Amino acid sequence: MEQLITETLGYARDHFTAFGLETAQVDALLVAGERDLRKELLQLKALAEAVPTDNDKVAQSLHALKGLLMNMGNNSAGQVFAELETAFKATREVAGILALLAAG
């Protein structure tokens, strides 16, 4: 999880700077983005580990992470979460989600 957060913050700095935002604005967005990303990742982990699994909440969390990552400029990770979302909706399996969260 920490690797994903660090990677995403690097992309986000470049992404937000490319919009012409001032350093103070970029820094504020990074603080908020890190907070939201960390919160959503921890929530997804808890949801995926819960028995029984709340399928709707897991799908919502995957969707939220996909959007958050893409909005922060980490399109490759956003695409991974998009694929996880699609796979989860089809199979309701959390193993791939837990493996991804454990790896990064």
User: Helices 23-49 & 55-71, crossing angle to 10 degrees?
Assistant: 160
For range 74-97, the mean pLDDT: 92
pLDDT 10s digits, 11-32: 999 999 999 999 999 999 999 9
CA distances from 52 to 23, 46, 47, 48, 72 (A): 45, 11, 9, 9, 32
- The string of pLDDT tens digits covering residues 37-66 is 999 999 999 999 999 999 999 999 999 999
